[in-house]
């Protein structure tokens, strides 16, 4: 069989992990494969941890210095000589990389070329993470939205509006009363779509520092969206829980924080490459000086031909995404991750990366402070308490992509309620490290002395955490 070999126009991967190829030809009926290559080491990277300004942004360096964190080999860029060797192979396309995991994403229609590359001495391992599907249904959602709320959506004279219950449950209203509303803190939201965020009136006033789409940047996986603010509205709802400013209707938990909106979830397919998107987004968040990451994403099963995770894999390190998440506190970043919504399924347990070390995994309760049955439970495979804390997730008051007030259910929505208040707490305690903030929130939760695998350490009291934090 004649094999069509293509010469791709390649550029060196960027510092933050994603690069595209402009010269690309698609052969009808031909499968495209993406593999994750684990490189053996970083020899020949051309950089040293003694001179971090040569490869890290000033914001990333300052955050580490402020929290007395070491810059280590995971911060170093990938080996230049290994990248150059891969680039010499015709018919391959480098489409992304992760410096923290020392991995490269390779796209090709020729599996033989991939097999040959994996056998090279500088490659430790290769894993298939994406296969082009036979077809993709990509209906464009309706982008209509409402300029005004219905009159029955308002609580007259209440600045928190319908969000009062979810904020008061965590004593977050006390932080707002002393003007702790997230000012000066930067939050990255890793999600799948931010429909109409740029058009909905109560969200337009939020401080959006920037956006980045890691799915569309990886060419060959799907056609790019018409706009970053098209697509699904899952991220819109998450964003609204923190950033909305609609007096009498809905106030977010951190309306004065700065936000990076990062798309790293492809709702059309479920394949392991989404863990790579997530890792690239997390590393990018580090580079632009983010303090906190909100991730309402979780994985445990994938489309064929990929294997699903097993319960034994919930050890904080086995999955690519959890290994990445476990590094964040070492970079001075607090990760708030949803526990998952598998409580009523056969899986029942938390999903990755909720099993990661040194993060805040968030479950869900109802207005009576009882466990929401859909919420995933713990513990991790190695016996750590999960979730860490819980918040109102059944149902949470949010703004939909249509600009309407909705009450939705899921740990996806209890997580940003907590995340925003982390920003408020850290604003008031700027001398604290990421590790100290994590410990403080857990220790000021309702069942800290007797945690379990359903509610974890319980419902956090952010006012108590703030008062205790001032004394330490």
Closest CA to 219 of 8, 459, 398: 8
pLDDT for the residue numbered 268: 86
Which distant-in-sequence residues (6+ apart) come within 8 Å of 431 by Cβ?
none
Q: 130 φ, ψ to 5°?
A: -160, 135
387 prior amide bond cis, ω within 30: yes
Within 29-161, residue ranges assigned H as helices are 58-66, 80-87, 111-118
At 462, list the tokens.
């952010």
Cα dihedral across residues 10, 16, 17, 22: positive or negative: negative
* pTM metric for this prediction: 0.91
Beta strand 258-263 with 207-213: parallel, antiparallel or unpaired? parallel
pLDDT for the residue numbered 43: 93
At 52, list the tokens.
């971090």
State the architecture of 151-471 in CATH terms.
3-Layer(aba) Sandwich (3.40)
CA distance 37 to 401: 37
At 194, list the tokens.
């931010």
pLDDT for the residue numbered 10: 29
- Residue-by-residue pLDDT tens, the chain, 472 positions: 333 222 222 233 333 343 333 333 344 458 899 999 999 999 999 999 999 999 999 999 999 999 999 999 999 999 999 999 999 998 899 999 999 999 999 999 998 999 999 999 999 999 999 998 876 655 555 566 666 666 555 556 788 999 999 999 999 999 999 999 999 999 999 999 999 999 999 998 999 999 999 998 765 444 444 589 988 999 999 999 999 998 889 999 999 999 999 999 998 889 999 999 999 999 999 999 999 999 999 999 999 999 999 999 999 999 999 999 999 999 999 999 999 999 999 999 999 999 999 999 999 999 999 999 999 999 999 999 999 999 999 999 999 999 999 999 999 999 999 999 999 999 999 999 999 999 999 999 999 999 999 999 999 999 999 999 999 8
At 419, list the tokens.
């995340």
- Give me the residue spans of the domains in the chain: 33-131, 151-471
pLDDT for the residue numbered 2: 35
């Amino acid at each position: 069989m004649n094999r069509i070999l293509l010469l791709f126009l390649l550029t060196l991967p960027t510092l933050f992990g994603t690069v595209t190829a402009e010269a690309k030809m698609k052969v009808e009926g031909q499968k495209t494969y993406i593999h994750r290559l684990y490189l053996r080491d970083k020899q020949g990277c051309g950089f040293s941890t003694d001179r971090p300004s040569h490869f890290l942004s000033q914001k990333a360096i300052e955050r580490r210095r402020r929290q007395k964190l070491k810059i280590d080999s995971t911060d170093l860029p990938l080996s230049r000589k290994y990248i150059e060797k891969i680039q010499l192979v015709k018919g391959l396309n480098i489409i992304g990389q992760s410096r923290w995991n020392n991995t490269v994403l390779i796209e090709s229609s020729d599996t033989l070329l991939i097999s040959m590359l994996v056998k090279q001495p500088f490659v430790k391992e290769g894993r298939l993470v994406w296969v082009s599907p036979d077809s993709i249904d990509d209906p464009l959602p309706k982008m209509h939205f409402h300029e005004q709320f219905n009159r029955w959506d308002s609580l007259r004279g209440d600045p928190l509006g319908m969000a009062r219950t979810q904020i008061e449950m965590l004593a977050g209203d006390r932080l707002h009363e002393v003007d702790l509303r997230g000012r000066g803190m930067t939050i990255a939201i890793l999600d799948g779509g931010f429909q109409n965020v740029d058009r909905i009136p109560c969200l337009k006033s939020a401080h959006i520092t920037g956006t980045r789409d890691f799915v569309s940047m990886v060419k060959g996986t799907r056609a790019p969206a018409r706009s970053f603010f098209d697509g699904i509205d899952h991220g819109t709802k998450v964003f609204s829980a923190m950033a909305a400013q609609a007096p009498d209707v809905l106030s977010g938990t951190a309306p004065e924080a700065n936000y990076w909106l990062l798309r790293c979830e492809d709702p059309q397919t479920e394949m392991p490459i989404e863990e790579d998107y997530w890792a690239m987004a997390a590393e990018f968040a580090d580079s632009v000086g983010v303090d906190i990451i909100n991730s309402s994403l979780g994985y445990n099963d994938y489309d064929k031909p990929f294997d699903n995770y097993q319960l034994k894999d919930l050890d904080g390190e086995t999955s690519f995404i959890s290994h990445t998440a476990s590094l964040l506190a070492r970079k001075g970043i607090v990760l708030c991750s949803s526990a998952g919504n598998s409580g009523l399924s056969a899986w029942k347990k938390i999903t990755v990366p909720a099993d990661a070390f040194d993060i805040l995994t968030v479950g869900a309760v109802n207005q009576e402070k009882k466990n929401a049955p859909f919420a995933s439970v713990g513990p991790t495979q190695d016996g750590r308490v999960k979730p860490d804390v819980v918040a109102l997730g059944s149902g949470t008051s949010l703004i939909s992509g249509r600009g309407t007030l909705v009450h939705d259910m899921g740990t996806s929505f209890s997580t940003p309620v907590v995340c925003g208040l982390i920003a408020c707490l850290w604003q008031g305690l700027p001398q604290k490290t990421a590790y100290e903030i994590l410990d403080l929130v857990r220790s000021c939760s309702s069942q800290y002395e007797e945690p379990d695998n359903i509610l974890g350490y319980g419902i956090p009291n952010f006012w108590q955490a703030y008062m205790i934090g001032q004394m330490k």
